[in-house]
Amino acid sequence: MATKKLEKKLSIEEAFSEIDDKIKALENDDISLEDSFKEYQQGMELLKYCHEAIAEVEKKVQKIAEDGSLEDFE
């Protein structure tokens, strides 16, 4: 499910919301081992997606400076 949604280009906020849902599902005492593994795997895919999206934004911020020079993102 997460892979299909990632193909639709989730916003970072939507991805973090889905990660929160995965955490809540994993905290449920009634979750099976198979379902917990599935939730964990999808959560990791979402985290990777967020990491890559944030890295892309950081690259763009490095290129933007008032005087046009390249500045590191801090």
Confirm if 3 and 38 have CB atoms less than 8 A apart. no
pTM for the whole thing?
0.72
Higher local confidence (pLDDT), 60 or 51: 51
Residues 73 and 62 sit within 8 Å (Cβ to Cβ)? yes
Query: Which pLDDT band, with edges at 50, 70 and 90, does 22 fall under?
Result: very high
Q: For each of the domains in the chain, give its residue range(s) and CATH number, in order of start.
A: 2-63 (1.10.287)
Q: Quick one: pLDDT at residue 69?
A: 67
